[in-house]
Chains A and B, each alone.
Chain A
Amino acid sequence: MVLVIAGVILWPSFQLYVLFPKQEKALKARLSKAATFEDSQAVRMEINEFNQRKGALYEKRIVHLGLDLVGGMHVVLDVDRSQLSEEDARRAPDLALEVIRNRIDQFGVFEPTIQKTDRGRILVQLPGVDRERALNIIKQPAHLTFHLVEEKAKVYDALKTVDERLQAKAGVKPTVDSTVTQPLDSTEKEAAPGTLLSFLRSEGDELDLLIYAKDTAAFRTLLEQGREFWPQGYEFAFGPVETVDNDRVVRIYLLKSEPELIGTRLRRAEPAIYQGAELERANTWVVNFELDREGAAKFATVTGRNVGRRLAIVLDGVVRSAPRIQERIPNGRGQITMYDRRGDKAKDLSIVLNSGALPAPVVVVEERSIGASLGADAIRRGLIAAAVGALVVVLFMLLYYGIGGLLADFALVVNIFLLLAVLAALRATLTLPGLAGIALTIGMAVDANVLVFERIREELRAGKTPMAAVDTGYDRALVTIIDANATTIITALALYFIGSGPVRGFAITLGVGLVINVLTAVFLTRFIFDWFLAQFEVKTLRI
């Protein structure tokens, strides 16, 4: 009866981990063999349906595999509340949790765990995801602002001024004669080393000054040193790393410090393929956005007043794009261009924009990521180790106790079966240490039966009949079995208390394993023993 229930409980897990991988393989094989387009479409439909069934199974009570087995990431985030008012700081973790949950939901992960832990920290567990992408999505603050952009010549002049002032301050004569206007885009390498101008990639491009991506850090440091000499009311800003003529470069912008439009919550952002005229952007992905009504009205005013100028779309201080305003934009629609050929970045940026801004930056205070192949490797070797261990135990018991050993072995198999069923019913997660816990339970599981059999042997030696010996053996051993297992369960509870993911998994398998163990050893084997002795009217018992 119990076994049937256990079987029913375990059926979804069996489907998921044993049947499905096989079907998946078969489907993939058929897809690669499909001769015509129609054939392959048909198989694709089947695969879709299959994936849906698989997704539905995840919702059921199955034995969940931990991150250390399937691969994935476990991060604990802390919200940096140092810049917030007391009131905001109190609400920040909940807000951040909400934003992160939204983003992850859109990212599309099976079974994410997103929850608040002690001290306002946020725990995120994502099975089988790409670490870098996931971190970007989680950590991106998403402050979107729009700033007017100065033209290239002005940027050059501003940089030159900063250079000159910096050198004057350091007591070095300006190397560039400031009375002579330097022609832009000349192949000047006359700029003295160690100046901002010396970093510029000589050609630049039509719109912006460029520097090599590798120089960014040095350039920024130097620029920061001269912050007091920046033009009043303006800020320098940078674009993302992009490839121009096979060089990795970064654009330099001079923006009006005061944004034209801020904090306007977007109504919608979605990735799309670039449709415009610029050849180098053909086939790249962009993000189209739409502002809400209030935002659209402001956007219309700003664009109407500044036709012909460039407007930078700045996300978290990085200039995403700076298109020239061709005409007044009344509908609040705009486009962020990307340098993304695969579409991942555009998709991720849309997710971040759609889910709103984090109330404050989040930092990773703890992280554990396991690569998928390490997980697969761990499972395979863990299972082999457990199987070999179990096999040796089973053989040893058979050899040592004969028919009794057979009984104990049967109890052992039932045991593991029930243990897995209980884990599925509890929706517990099986981790690598958990797998070790099961293996260890196998080793210790026979203990109860060993205790019983040793007692029966004693009673037989004392000259009792098999029936009586079995009876007394079980009765005598029962107290010991309970005492012995109770203490181990106490330690399992203590382990559960330490409770960082994998160890908790171990505690659960160990604890549940022991309880089931006592039950099967005491009741199941006794029941079979009694039935066996009565059935065959055994006169002499050898165990």
Chain B
Amino acid sequence: MKLFGDTNIQFVPKRRLFFLISACLVAISILLIVFKGFRYGVDFTGGGLVQVRFSAPVKIDAVRAALAAMGEAGASIQQTETGDFLIRVKPSAKSGDESGFSSRLRQQFAVSFPNIPFEVLRDEAVGPRISKELQSKVLIAVLIGLIGILIYVSFRFDFRFGTAAVLALIHDTLITLGFCALFNREITTTLIAAILTVIGYSVNDSIVVSDRIREAIKKIRKESFPEVVNRAINDTLSRTIVTGLTTLFVTIALLVLASAEIRDFAFALTVGIVIGTYSSIFVVANLVVEWEQKFPTRRRR
């Protein structure tokens, strides 16, 4: 079976159009991130999160009343599709002991709902100092990832490809984050893991195309640089789409079937892989072409 035979789609001549689309997407994403903002998880804000499941249906107002009774009227309550309650509070500035909220909550619920047994499914509590440390750690990890990739790609190809790949990565990351902001996905360490994976995937994709371009430059000398690039993109198109599809099958299965804890993660992966596939076809090579036309190099390897 074949989805694509010998294609000859004009990716390179239309590159300005794709740049425009990408620029719009990035701009919208930045606006979304700045003005709508993220819903940060406990990891980054500090504070506590408790997920409670009652054995019989309980009204959200009753839960709110119970929280008010223990002096936590400011807690945010959210009900999941399975009927669990997610209760969030800010970090305890006073005691510095983060396990206190959940313990008090258990006692209060036992008093407020004496006839309804409940189970605490999940407790998360992160002190303010830890959350700050985690923020900087994540930043460092993302930077190390990006720098590592830049060095590797520049070393294996040349600086132009490296820069183009990293620009595409920033493009992919921003748009993925924009989608997360738009769909109100919670930013947790797990989601950051997804973003880094998208980075890895996307650069993987870009490299396959770049690799083809490098090979084609060596072989065909009579074609112009843009033509060579266009052919390389077409030659790898089938592989790019097939791999994108197989990966998407899995992330979509995770998104639909896996438990709620994985869903934000799967969402970011799904969006990221679509964007990553798009950018490796339409953006990376075209950036190199643009660069080549502005600053032509003599030494074509």
Please give the residue numbers on chain A whose beta carbons come within 8 Å of chain B beta carbons, in ascending order: 68, 73, 75-76, 78, 80, 131-132, 135, 139, 363-371, 373-374, 377-378, 381-382, 384-386, 388-390, 392-393, 396-397, 399-402, 432-433, 436, 439-440, 442-444, 446-447, 450-451, 454, 458, 476, 479-480, 483-495, 497-498, 500, 502-503, 506-507, 510
Per-residue 0/1 for B235-254: is the Cβ within 8 Å of any A Cβ (1 yes, 0 no)? 11011001101111111111
Give A531 to B228 CA distance when docked, in angstroms.
36
Contact across chains for A397 and B99 when beta carbons are under 8 A apart: no
Query: Given the complex, which residues of B lie within 8 Å of A442, measured CB to CB?
Result: 250
B292 close to A (CB within 8 Å): no
B36 close to A (CB within 8 Å): no
Give A346 to B273 CA distance when docked, in angstroms.
56
List residues of B (122-148) whose CB comes within 8 Å of A's CBs: 122-127, 129-130, 134, 137-138, 140-142, 144-145, 148
Chain B nearest Cβ from A493, distance in angstroms: 7
* Contact A363-B96, Cβ < 8 Å, known A436-B254, A451-B239: yes
Give A479 to B218 CA distance when docked, in angstroms.
15
Contact across chains for B190 and A503 when beta carbons are under 8 A apart: yes
Give A132 to B120 CA distance when docked, in angstroms.
11
* Contact A443-B261, Cβ < 8 Å, known A399-B1, A454-B238: no
B207 close to A (CB within 8 Å): yes
* Contact A450-B239, Cβ < 8 Å, known A364-B97, A389-B249: yes
Contact across chains for B246 and A396 when beta carbons are under 8 A apart: yes
* Contact A365-B254, Cβ < 8 Å, known A131-B123, A135-B99, A494-B141: no
Of all chain B residues, the one with the shortest Cβ separation from A442 is: B250
Contact across chains for A484 and B207 when beta carbons are under 8 A apart: yes
Contact across chains for B253 and A396 when beta carbons are under 8 A apart: no
Contact across chains for A491 and B196 when beta carbons are under 8 A apart: yes
Contact across chains for B201 and A366 when beta carbons are under 8 A apart: no
Tell which of A386, A396, A401, A497 touches B141, judged by Cβ atoms closer than 8 Å.
Answer: A497
- The segment from B27-35, B56-64, B149-157, B176-184 found at the interface with A is B149-157
* Contact A365-B253, Cβ < 8 Å, known A76-B130, A492-B200, A506-B193: no
Contact across chains for A443 and B1 when beta carbons are under 8 A apart: no
B217 close to A (CB within 8 Å): no
Query: Given the complex, which residues of B lie within 8 Å of A432, measured CB to CB?
Result: 259, 261-262
Contact across chains for A364 and B99 when beta carbons are under 8 A apart: yes
* Contact A132-B106, Cβ < 8 Å, known A378-B259, A443-B246: yes
Query: Given the complex, which residues of B lie within 8 Å of A399, measured CB to CB?
Result: 1
Give A484 to B157 CA distance when docked, in angstroms.
12
Chain A nearest Cβ from B217, distance in angstroms: 15
Chain B nearest Cβ from A339, distance in angstroms: 17
Give A155 to B103 CA distance when docked, in angstroms.
32
Chain A nearest Cβ from B280, distance in angstroms: 11
Contact across chains for A446 and B246 when beta carbons are under 8 A apart: yes
Query: Given the complex, which residues of A lie within 8 Å of B193, measured CB to CB?
Result: 433, 495, 498, 503, 506-507
Of all chain A residues, the one with the shortest Cβ separation from B5 is: A461
* Contact A443-B190, Cβ < 8 Å, known A364-B99, A366-B126, A495-B141: no
Give A495 to B265 CA distance when docked, in angstroms.
14
Tell which of A139, A433, A485 touches B190, judged by Cβ atoms closer than 8 Å.
Answer: A433
List residues of B (168-189) whose CB comes within 8 Å of A's CBs: 189
Given contacts A488-B201, A497-B141, 11 further A-B contacts (CB under 8 A): A135-B103, A368-B124, A393-B249, A396-B246, A439-B251, A440-B251, A450-B246, A487-B152, A495-B141, A495-B197, A503-B189
Give A66 to B190 CA distance when docked, in angstroms.
15
Tell which of B124, B125, B256, B259 touches A382, judged by Cβ atoms closer than 8 Å.
Answer: B259
B289 close to A (CB within 8 Å): no
Contact across chains for B265 and A487 when beta carbons are under 8 A apart: no
Query: Given the complex, which residues of B lie within 8 Å of A401, measured CB to CB?
Result: 1
Give A463 to B243 CA distance when docked, in angstroms.
26
B98 close to A (CB within 8 Å): yes
Query: Given the complex, which residues of B lie within 8 Å of A135, measured CB to CB?
Result: 99, 103
B204 close to A (CB within 8 Å): yes
Contact across chains for B99 and A480 when beta carbons are under 8 A apart: no
Tell which of B207, B256, B261 touches A487, judged by Cβ atoms closer than 8 Å.
Answer: B207
Of all chain A residues, the one with the shortest Cβ separation from B238 is: A454
Contact across chains for A446 and B250 when beta carbons are under 8 A apart: no
B121 close to A (CB within 8 Å): yes
Query: Given the complex, which residues of B lie within 8 Å of A389, measured CB to CB?
Result: 249-254
Per-residue 0/1 for B196-223: is the Cβ within 8 Å of any A Cβ (1 yes, 0 no)? 1101110111011001100100000000
Query: Given the complex, which residues of B lie within 8 Å of A444, measured CB to CB?
Result: 201, 204, 243, 246-247
Query: Given the complex, which residues of A lie within 8 Å of B140, measured CB to CB?
Result: 497
Q: Can you spell out 28 A-B residue pairs with CB atoms less than 8 angstroms apart?
A: A76-B130, A135-B103, A368-B122, A368-B123, A368-B125, A371-B122, A378-B261, A384-B257, A384-B258, A390-B250, A401-B1, A432-B261, A439-B250, A450-B239, A480-B208, A487-B200, A487-B207, A488-B204, A490-B148, A490-B149, A491-B149, A494-B148, A495-B196, A497-B140, A498-B141, A500-B43, A500-B189, A510-B197
Of all chain B residues, the one with the shortest Cβ separation from A488 is: B200
Query: Given the complex, which residues of A lie within 8 Å of B224, measured CB to CB?
Result: none
Contact across chains for A450 and B242 when beta carbons are under 8 A apart: yes
Contact across chains for B119 and A486 when beta carbons are under 8 A apart: no
* Contact A486-B152, Cβ < 8 Å, known A400-B242, A444-B247, A494-B144: yes
Query: Given the complex, which residues of A lie within 8 Å of B252, measured CB to CB?
Result: 389
Contact across chains for A494 and B145 when beta carbons are under 8 A apart: yes
Contact across chains for B253 and A491 when beta carbons are under 8 A apart: no
Give A491 to B173 CA distance when docked, in angstroms.
14
Give A497 to B193 CA distance when docked, in angstroms.
11
Query: Given the complex, which residues of A lie within 8 Å of B235, measured CB to CB?
Result: 458
Query: Given the complex, which residues of A lie within 8 Å of B148, measured CB to CB?
Result: 490-491, 493-494
* Contact A436-B153, Cβ < 8 Å, known A494-B196, A503-B190: no
Query: Given the complex, which residues of A lie within 8 Å of B124, measured CB to CB?
Result: 367-369
Give A170 to B100 CA distance when docked, in angstroms.
35
Give A286 to B100 CA distance when docked, in angstroms.
27
Of all chain A residues, the one with the shortest Cβ separation from B239 is: A454
Contact across chains for B253 and A366 when beta carbons are under 8 A apart: no
* Contact A498-B192, Cβ < 8 Å, known A132-B106, A385-B254, A450-B243: yes
